[in-house]
Amino acid sequence: MRIIETERLILRPFTLDDAPVMFERWASDPEVTRYLTWQPHPNVDVTRAYLAALVAKYPAGDSFDWAIDLKGVGAIGSIGVVSYREETEAAELGYCLSRAHWGQGIMPEALKAVIDFLFDEVGARRVTAKHDIANPRSGRVMAKAGMKYEGTLRQAGYNNRGIIDEVHYAMIIEDERRTNQ
């Protein structure tokens, strides 16, 4: 796991010591998890168990899950690869952020940094993300990071709201190279 630094953020591997902050700032918040596939954590022990499983995957070198640290504040969210298809060199990303930090441009900054890392360091050719149609703010995050809208799949996903329409965004390596020229 490589540490990624941006102007305001440090994206770093999680540690078990992150459990109390993660639980308090975002994992227990039903507003943060409303459009996600996992329920709010009922207590810090659930967060600790989740992090233990995550941290155990790091030594294999094929797990890409970062804590999002706002410089001077600490961990405020997470971002990571939820799936990677070797045959198409395509990564799908997922993310969440503490409610106190919504609307500050933090997630587009983190998302762009991870996209660049996947293209430049991992060799991905395509990076995707999707959101619940009822959560258009997540789509704006993707667009601000340079991803392009690809379509809406009706009743194609499931999250804490039930069966939902999924809105898909992607960036391919040629898009990234044009943006960074």
- Summarize pLDDT for 32-42 with one digit per residue, the tens: 999 999 999 99
Amino acid 1: pLDDT: 77
Task: Please compute the mean of the pLDDT values over residues 96-110 and round it to a whole number.
Answer: 97
The full set of domain ranges for the chain reads 4-179
Closest CA to 57 of 93, 100, 14, 114: 14
Residues 107, 109, 181, CA angle at the centre, nearest 5°? Answer: 145
Give yes or no for a contact between 25 and 75, defined as CB atoms under 8 angstroms apart. Answer: yes
Residue 181 clears pLDDT 60, i.e. is over it: no
- d(Cα 112, Cα 82) in Å, to the nearest integer? 16
Q: What tokens appear for 87 in the block? A: 């045959």
Only one residue has tokens 């490589």, namely: 2
Amino acid 36: pLDDT: 97
Q: What tokens appear for 167 in the block? A: 């809105």
Q: How confident is the model at residue 178 (pLDDT cuts 50, 70, 90)?
A: low
DSSP letter at 125? S
60-89 residue pLDDT tens: 988 899 999 999 999 999 999 999 999 999
Q: C-alpha 76: how far from its chain's center?
A: 12
Q: C-alpha 25: how far from its chain's center?
A: 16
Q: Give the rounded percent of residues in the chain with a pLDDT score beyond 90.
A: 93
Q: In DSSP terms, which residues pair with 92 in a beta bridge? A: 83, 128
- d(Cα 101, Cα 112) in Å, to the nearest integer? 17
Task: Please compute the mean of the pLDDT values over residues 148-156 and round it to a whole number.
Answer: 98
Amino acid 177: pLDDT: 66
Amino acid 179: pLDDT: 63
CATH fold of 4-179 reads Aminopeptidase (3.40.630)
Q: Tell me the whole-structure pTM to 2 decimals.
A: 0.95
Q: In DSSP terms, which residues pair with 65 in a beta bridge? A: 80
Amino acid 176: pLDDT: 65
